[in-house]
Amino acid sequence: MNDASTNSLTDIAARFGARIAAATAAGTPLRIRGGGTKDWYGQAFDGEPLDTRAYTGIVSYEPTELVITARCGTPLAEIEALLAEHNQMLAFEPPHFGPGSTIGGVVASALSGPRRASAGAVRDFVLGAVLMDGRGEALRFGGQVMKNVAGYDVSRLLAGSLGTLGLILEVSLKVLPVPVSEASLRFDMSEIEALTRMNEWAGQPLPISASCWHQGALSLRLSGAEAAVAAARRTLGGAGLDDGPAFWASLRDQSHAYFGGGGSLWRLSVPPAASAIILGGEQLIEWGGAQRWLKVAECDAGQTDGIRRSVAAAGGHATLFRGGQRQVGVFHPLAPAVAKIHDRLKRSFDPAGIFNPGRMY
Protein backbone atom coordinates (compact mmCIF):
# COMPACT_ATOMS: atom_id res chain seq x y z
CA MET A 1 0.00 0.00 0.00
CA ASN A 2 1.38 3.42 -0.96
CA ASP A 3 1.72 6.41 1.35
CA ALA A 4 -1.29 8.19 -0.15
CA SER A 5 -3.54 5.21 0.56
CA THR A 6 -2.19 4.92 4.09
CA ASN A 7 -2.78 8.61 4.74
CA SER A 8 -6.29 8.34 3.35
CA LEU A 9 -7.14 5.45 5.67
CA THR A 10 -5.62 7.33 8.60
CA ASP A 11 -7.85 10.29 7.75
CA ILE A 12 -10.92 8.02 7.58
CA ALA A 13 -10.16 6.57 11.01
CA ALA A 14 -9.63 10.07 12.39
CA ARG A 15 -13.00 11.17 10.99
CA PHE A 16 -14.64 8.15 12.61
CA GLY A 17 -13.10 9.15 15.94
CA ALA A 18 -14.15 12.77 15.67
CA ARG A 19 -17.71 11.88 14.71
CA ILE A 20 -18.05 9.34 17.53
CA ALA A 21 -16.67 11.79 20.10
CA ALA A 22 -19.10 14.45 18.90
CA ALA A 23 -22.01 11.99 19.01
CA THR A 24 -21.13 11.03 22.58
CA ALA A 25 -20.97 14.68 23.62
CA ALA A 26 -24.36 15.37 22.03
CA GLY A 27 -25.96 12.05 22.98
CA THR A 28 -26.70 11.37 19.29
CA PRO A 29 -27.24 7.67 18.45
CA LEU A 30 -25.11 6.17 15.68
CA ARG A 31 -26.07 3.25 13.50
CA ILE A 32 -22.92 1.33 12.52
CA ARG A 33 -23.44 -0.16 9.07
CA GLY A 34 -21.32 -1.89 6.44
CA GLY A 35 -23.01 -3.49 3.44
CA GLY A 36 -26.37 -3.64 5.22
CA THR A 37 -26.81 -7.34 4.45
CA LYS A 38 -27.84 -8.08 8.05
CA ASP A 39 -29.91 -4.97 8.81
CA TRP A 40 -32.88 -7.26 9.49
CA TYR A 41 -31.07 -9.15 12.28
CA GLY A 42 -31.83 -8.11 15.84
CA GLN A 43 -34.25 -5.55 17.22
CA ALA A 44 -35.24 -2.49 15.23
CA PHE A 45 -32.66 0.26 15.70
CA ASP A 46 -32.14 3.83 14.65
CA GLY A 47 -29.49 6.50 14.69
CA GLU A 48 -27.44 8.36 12.10
CA PRO A 49 -25.69 5.89 9.77
CA LEU A 50 -21.94 5.42 10.28
CA ASP A 51 -20.83 3.74 7.06
CA THR A 52 -17.74 1.56 7.46
CA ARG A 53 -17.16 0.60 3.83
CA ALA A 54 -14.51 3.22 3.10
CA TYR A 55 -12.26 1.71 5.76
CA THR A 56 -11.27 -1.28 3.70
CA GLY A 57 -8.31 -3.47 2.81
CA ILE A 58 -6.20 -6.39 3.97
CA VAL A 59 -3.78 -5.23 6.66
CA SER A 60 -1.71 -8.42 6.66
CA TYR A 61 -1.97 -12.04 5.60
CA GLU A 62 0.50 -14.75 6.43
CA PRO A 63 -0.61 -18.03 4.80
CA THR A 64 2.08 -19.99 6.62
CA GLU A 65 0.88 -18.57 9.96
CA LEU A 66 -2.81 -19.12 9.14
CA VAL A 67 -3.74 -15.55 10.15
CA ILE A 68 -5.40 -12.73 8.24
CA THR A 69 -6.02 -9.17 9.46
CA ALA A 70 -8.46 -6.90 7.64
CA ARG A 71 -10.22 -3.57 8.13
CA CYS A 72 -13.91 -3.59 8.99
CA GLY A 73 -15.22 -2.46 5.60
CA THR A 74 -13.37 -5.13 3.62
CA PRO A 75 -15.83 -7.23 1.57
CA LEU A 76 -16.14 -10.82 2.76
CA ALA A 77 -15.91 -11.94 -0.89
CA GLU A 78 -12.53 -10.22 -1.26
CA ILE A 79 -11.15 -12.00 1.80
CA GLU A 80 -12.46 -15.40 0.72
CA ALA A 81 -11.03 -14.94 -2.77
CA LEU A 82 -7.58 -14.18 -1.35
CA LEU A 83 -7.73 -17.17 0.97
CA ALA A 84 -8.82 -19.42 -1.89
CA GLU A 85 -5.68 -18.49 -3.83
CA HIS A 86 -3.73 -20.16 -1.02
CA ASN A 87 -6.19 -23.03 -0.59
CA GLN A 88 -7.38 -21.68 2.76
CA MET A 89 -10.75 -20.66 4.19
CA LEU A 90 -12.73 -19.11 7.01
CA ALA A 91 -13.64 -22.40 8.62
CA PHE A 92 -16.81 -21.16 10.33
CA GLU A 93 -18.40 -20.62 6.89
CA PRO A 94 -19.90 -17.15 7.41
CA PRO A 95 -23.13 -16.49 5.50
CA HIS A 96 -23.00 -13.79 2.84
CA PHE A 97 -26.65 -12.70 2.55
CA GLY A 98 -25.60 -10.70 -0.49
CA PRO A 99 -22.47 -9.30 -2.18
CA GLY A 100 -22.19 -6.37 0.23
CA SER A 101 -21.22 -8.42 3.27
CA THR A 102 -18.18 -7.01 5.12
CA ILE A 103 -15.81 -8.66 7.59
CA GLY A 104 -16.85 -6.19 10.30
CA GLY A 105 -20.45 -7.37 9.96
CA VAL A 106 -19.33 -10.99 9.95
CA VAL A 107 -17.72 -10.58 13.36
CA ALA A 108 -20.36 -8.27 14.82
CA SER A 109 -23.19 -10.66 13.94
CA ALA A 110 -21.19 -13.85 14.72
CA LEU A 111 -23.33 -15.95 12.39
CA SER A 112 -21.75 -19.23 11.31
CA GLY A 113 -22.60 -21.70 8.57
CA PRO A 114 -22.91 -25.50 8.32
CA ARG A 115 -19.31 -26.19 9.38
CA ARG A 116 -19.74 -24.53 12.78
CA ALA A 117 -20.40 -27.74 14.76
CA SER A 118 -17.14 -29.35 13.62
CA ALA A 119 -14.87 -26.31 13.19
CA GLY A 120 -16.07 -23.84 15.81
CA ALA A 121 -17.90 -20.52 16.01
CA VAL A 122 -16.79 -17.07 14.82
CA ARG A 123 -15.45 -16.10 18.26
CA ASP A 124 -13.24 -19.21 18.28
CA PHE A 125 -11.30 -17.77 15.32
CA VAL A 126 -10.98 -14.16 16.51
CA LEU A 127 -7.36 -13.59 17.55
CA GLY A 128 -7.42 -9.84 18.00
CA ALA A 129 -9.24 -6.64 17.13
CA VAL A 130 -9.01 -2.87 17.10
CA LEU A 131 -12.12 -1.28 18.61
CA MET A 132 -13.05 2.40 18.55
CA ASP A 133 -14.99 3.13 21.75
CA GLY A 134 -17.53 5.80 22.61
CA ARG A 135 -14.77 8.31 23.32
CA GLY A 136 -13.46 7.95 19.76
CA GLU A 137 -10.33 6.18 20.98
CA ALA A 138 -8.90 3.15 19.15
CA LEU A 139 -8.19 0.27 21.55
CA ARG A 140 -6.17 -2.73 20.45
CA PHE A 141 -6.96 -6.18 21.82
CA GLY A 142 -5.15 -9.43 21.07
CA GLY A 143 -1.55 -10.56 20.89
CA GLN A 144 -0.61 -9.53 24.39
CA VAL A 145 -4.27 -9.83 25.28
CA MET A 146 -5.63 -6.61 26.75
CA LYS A 147 -8.55 -7.21 29.10
CA ASN A 148 -11.03 -4.92 30.74
CA VAL A 149 -11.50 -4.57 34.46
CA ALA A 150 -13.76 -7.62 34.63
CA GLY A 151 -11.11 -9.81 33.00
CA TYR A 152 -12.83 -10.62 29.69
CA ASP A 153 -11.05 -11.30 26.42
CA VAL A 154 -12.59 -8.35 24.62
CA SER A 155 -11.61 -9.33 21.09
CA ARG A 156 -13.84 -12.40 21.39
CA LEU A 157 -16.60 -10.53 23.20
CA LEU A 158 -16.98 -8.38 20.09
CA ALA A 159 -18.22 -11.44 18.19
CA GLY A 160 -22.00 -11.23 18.35
CA SER A 161 -22.09 -7.77 19.96
CA LEU A 162 -23.93 -6.32 16.92
CA GLY A 163 -21.95 -3.10 17.11
CA THR A 164 -23.28 -2.19 20.56
CA LEU A 165 -19.83 -1.96 22.17
CA GLY A 166 -18.14 0.15 19.53
CA LEU A 167 -16.85 0.31 15.99
CA ILE A 168 -14.69 -2.68 15.04
CA LEU A 169 -11.90 -1.07 12.99
CA GLU A 170 -9.79 -4.18 12.36
CA VAL A 171 -10.01 -7.86 13.12
CA SER A 172 -7.45 -10.68 13.01
CA LEU A 173 -8.81 -14.12 12.25
CA LYS A 174 -7.35 -17.60 12.27
CA VAL A 175 -7.85 -19.40 8.95
CA LEU A 176 -7.59 -23.08 8.05
CA PRO A 177 -6.62 -25.12 4.98
CA VAL A 178 -9.40 -26.20 2.64
CA PRO A 179 -10.10 -29.94 3.11
CA VAL A 180 -8.37 -32.17 0.58
CA SER A 181 -11.54 -34.18 -0.06
CA GLU A 182 -15.26 -33.75 0.52
CA ALA A 183 -18.33 -35.85 -0.12
CA SER A 184 -22.03 -35.46 0.71
CA LEU A 185 -24.45 -38.25 1.63
CA ARG A 186 -28.22 -38.57 2.03
CA PHE A 187 -30.25 -40.89 4.25
CA ASP A 188 -34.03 -41.31 4.46
CA MET A 189 -35.03 -41.28 8.14
CA SER A 190 -37.34 -39.69 10.69
CA GLU A 191 -36.43 -36.77 12.92
CA ILE A 192 -36.03 -38.99 15.99
CA GLU A 193 -33.82 -41.45 14.13
CA ALA A 194 -31.75 -38.64 12.62
CA LEU A 195 -31.11 -37.08 16.06
CA THR A 196 -30.12 -40.48 17.43
CA ARG A 197 -27.77 -41.22 14.54
CA MET A 198 -26.12 -37.79 14.61
CA ASN A 199 -25.36 -38.13 18.31
CA GLU A 200 -24.01 -41.66 17.84
CA TRP A 201 -21.79 -40.60 14.94
CA ALA A 202 -20.54 -37.57 16.90
CA GLY A 203 -18.85 -39.98 19.29
CA GLN A 204 -17.03 -41.81 16.52
CA PRO A 205 -13.89 -40.77 14.58
CA LEU A 206 -15.83 -39.72 11.48
CA PRO A 207 -14.92 -36.60 9.42
CA ILE A 208 -18.44 -35.12 9.51
CA SER A 209 -18.24 -31.40 8.77
CA ALA A 210 -21.95 -30.61 8.32
CA SER A 211 -25.37 -32.16 8.86
CA CYS A 212 -28.95 -31.26 8.00
CA TRP A 213 -32.27 -33.00 8.58
CA HIS A 214 -35.38 -31.77 6.78
CA GLN A 215 -38.58 -33.42 5.59
CA GLY A 216 -37.54 -37.00 6.30
CA ALA A 217 -34.01 -36.76 4.88
CA LEU A 218 -30.69 -36.48 6.69
CA SER A 219 -27.78 -35.03 4.72
CA LEU A 220 -24.14 -35.23 5.81
CA ARG A 221 -20.95 -33.67 4.51
CA LEU A 222 -17.64 -35.45 5.01
CA SER A 223 -14.41 -33.42 4.87
CA GLY A 224 -10.77 -34.38 5.30
CA ALA A 225 -8.10 -36.60 3.82
CA GLU A 226 -9.16 -38.72 0.86
CA ALA A 227 -8.64 -41.97 2.76
CA ALA A 228 -10.66 -40.74 5.75
CA VAL A 229 -13.57 -39.58 3.60
CA ALA A 230 -13.57 -42.82 1.59
CA ALA A 231 -13.52 -44.93 4.77
CA ALA A 232 -16.38 -42.91 6.29
CA ARG A 233 -18.47 -43.38 3.16
CA ARG A 234 -18.04 -47.14 3.41
CA THR A 235 -18.92 -47.08 7.10
CA LEU A 236 -21.98 -44.86 6.85
CA GLY A 237 -23.47 -45.99 3.57
CA GLY A 238 -26.26 -43.79 2.27
CA ALA A 239 -26.71 -42.33 -1.19
CA GLY A 240 -24.59 -39.64 -2.78
CA LEU A 241 -26.08 -36.14 -2.54
CA ASP A 242 -26.35 -34.51 -5.94
CA ASP A 243 -24.71 -31.08 -6.11
CA GLY A 244 -23.55 -31.19 -2.49
CA PRO A 245 -21.60 -27.88 -2.54
CA ALA A 246 -24.64 -25.95 -3.77
CA PHE A 247 -26.82 -27.59 -1.10
CA TRP A 248 -24.54 -26.56 1.77
CA ALA A 249 -24.13 -23.07 0.31
CA SER A 250 -27.94 -22.73 0.24
CA LEU A 251 -28.03 -23.51 3.96
CA ARG A 252 -25.16 -21.14 4.69
CA ASP A 253 -26.82 -18.20 2.91
CA GLN A 254 -30.39 -19.31 3.66
CA SER A 255 -31.33 -19.42 0.01
CA HIS A 256 -32.67 -22.96 0.53
CA ALA A 257 -36.41 -23.20 -0.16
CA TYR A 258 -37.11 -23.85 3.53
CA PHE A 259 -36.13 -20.28 4.43
CA GLY A 260 -38.50 -18.69 1.91
CA GLY A 261 -42.05 -17.52 2.47
CA GLY A 262 -43.62 -15.49 5.26
CA GLY A 263 -44.26 -16.16 8.90
CA SER A 264 -41.75 -16.23 11.74
CA LEU A 265 -38.38 -17.98 11.56
CA TRP A 266 -36.98 -19.07 14.91
CA ARG A 267 -33.45 -20.22 15.61
CA LEU A 268 -33.39 -22.73 18.46
CA SER A 269 -30.04 -23.45 20.12
CA VAL A 270 -30.19 -26.61 22.22
CA PRO A 271 -27.87 -29.41 23.40
CA PRO A 272 -27.31 -31.82 20.49
CA ALA A 273 -28.65 -34.70 22.57
CA ALA A 274 -31.99 -32.95 23.20
CA SER A 275 -34.94 -34.97 21.93
CA ALA A 276 -37.37 -33.71 19.31
CA ILE A 277 -39.15 -30.52 20.41
CA ILE A 278 -42.79 -30.49 19.33
CA LEU A 279 -43.74 -26.89 18.62
CA GLY A 280 -45.83 -27.10 15.47
CA GLY A 281 -44.60 -25.53 12.29
CA GLU A 282 -41.81 -26.88 10.11
CA GLN A 283 -38.33 -27.64 11.37
CA LEU A 284 -34.88 -27.94 9.80
CA ILE A 285 -32.07 -29.31 11.98
CA GLU A 286 -28.35 -28.55 11.64
CA TRP A 287 -25.12 -28.84 13.61
CA GLY A 288 -25.67 -32.42 14.74
CA GLY A 289 -28.93 -31.41 16.46
CA ALA A 290 -27.59 -28.28 18.18
CA GLN A 291 -29.27 -25.77 15.83
CA ARG A 292 -32.93 -26.23 15.00
CA TRP A 293 -34.84 -23.86 12.78
CA LEU A 294 -38.58 -23.48 13.36
CA LYS A 295 -40.87 -21.82 10.82
CA VAL A 296 -44.34 -20.91 12.05
CA ALA A 297 -47.10 -18.49 11.22
CA GLU A 298 -46.92 -15.05 12.78
CA CYS A 299 -47.10 -15.54 16.55
CA ASP A 300 -48.16 -13.24 19.36
CA ALA A 301 -46.47 -12.65 22.70
CA GLY A 302 -48.17 -15.66 24.30
CA GLN A 303 -47.02 -18.05 21.58
CA THR A 304 -43.52 -16.56 21.72
CA ASP A 305 -43.39 -17.17 25.46
CA GLY A 306 -44.53 -20.76 24.92
CA ILE A 307 -41.77 -21.42 22.37
CA ARG A 308 -39.13 -19.99 24.68
CA ARG A 309 -40.38 -21.98 27.69
CA SER A 310 -40.29 -25.23 25.72
CA VAL A 311 -36.78 -24.57 24.40
CA ALA A 312 -35.53 -23.50 27.84
CA ALA A 313 -36.92 -26.74 29.28
CA ALA A 314 -34.73 -28.60 26.74
CA GLY A 315 -31.68 -26.67 27.99
CA GLY A 316 -31.50 -24.10 25.22
CA HIS A 317 -32.62 -20.66 24.07
CA ALA A 318 -34.70 -19.30 21.19
CA THR A 319 -34.06 -16.34 18.88
CA LEU A 320 -36.73 -14.78 16.68
CA PHE A 321 -34.42 -14.75 13.68
CA ARG A 322 -36.66 -13.27 10.97
CA GLY A 323 -40.17 -11.96 10.70
CA GLY A 324 -42.63 -11.99 13.57
CA GLN A 325 -43.49 -9.27 16.04
CA ARG A 326 -40.10 -7.85 16.98
CA GLN A 327 -41.53 -6.04 19.97
CA VAL A 328 -41.79 -9.36 21.83
CA GLY A 329 -37.99 -9.49 21.91
CA VAL A 330 -35.72 -11.00 19.27
CA PHE A 331 -33.22 -12.55 21.65
CA HIS A 332 -33.93 -14.87 24.53
CA PRO A 333 -34.23 -12.83 27.76
CA LEU A 334 -31.01 -12.78 29.80
CA ALA A 335 -30.72 -14.06 33.33
CA PRO A 336 -30.39 -11.12 35.77
CA ALA A 337 -26.72 -11.81 36.55
CA VAL A 338 -25.84 -12.00 32.84
CA ALA A 339 -27.83 -8.86 32.10
CA LYS A 340 -25.74 -7.00 34.69
CA ILE A 341 -22.54 -8.13 32.95
CA HIS A 342 -23.90 -6.91 29.60
CA ASP A 343 -24.77 -3.56 31.17
CA ARG A 344 -21.29 -3.14 32.70
CA LEU A 345 -19.61 -3.91 29.39
CA LYS A 346 -21.84 -1.49 27.52
CA ARG A 347 -21.19 1.31 30.00
CA SER A 348 -17.46 0.65 29.95
CA PHE A 349 -17.07 1.03 26.19
CA ASP A 350 -20.08 3.20 25.33
CA PRO A 351 -20.92 5.33 28.37
CA ALA A 352 -23.32 7.58 26.45
CA GLY A 353 -25.13 4.63 24.83
CA ILE A 354 -24.73 5.93 21.27
CA PHE A 355 -23.77 2.69 19.45
CA ASN A 356 -26.70 0.84 17.83
CA PRO A 357 -29.09 1.51 20.74
CA GLY A 358 -31.83 -1.08 21.04
CA ARG A 359 -30.24 -3.48 18.55
CA MET A 360 -29.96 -6.37 21.02
CA TYR A 361 -32.34 -5.71 23.94
Least confident of 43-47, 164-168, 226-230, 280-284: 43-47
Which architecture, in CATH terms, is 3-177? 2-Layer Sandwich (3.30)
pLDDT in tens, 75-126: 999 999 999 999 999 999 999 999 999 999 999 999 999 999 999 999 999 9
Model pTM?
0.92
Question: With bands split at pLDDT 50, 70 and 90, how would you rate the model's confidence at 6?
Answer: low
Question: With bands split at pLDDT 50, 70 and 90, how would you rate the model's confidence at 2?
Answer: low
Domain map of the chain by residue range? 3-177, 181-328
Question: With bands split at pLDDT 50, 70 and 90, how would you rate the model's confidence at 347?
Answer: very high
Does the pLDDT of residue 168 top 90, yes or no? yes
Residue 101 to residues 88, 172, 290, 343: CA-CA distances in angstroms? 19, 17, 26, 29
**% of the chain residues with pLDDT over 90:** 84
Least confident of 75-79, 201-205, 334-338: 334-338
pLDDT in tens, 116-152: 999 999 999 999 999 999 999 999 998 533 344 344 5
pLDDT in tens, 209-268: 999 999 999 999 999 999 999 999 999 999 999 899 999 999 999 999 999 988 899 999
Within the chain, what is the greatest distance between any pair of CA atoms?
66
Least confident of 167-171, 302-306, 333-337, 352-356: 302-306
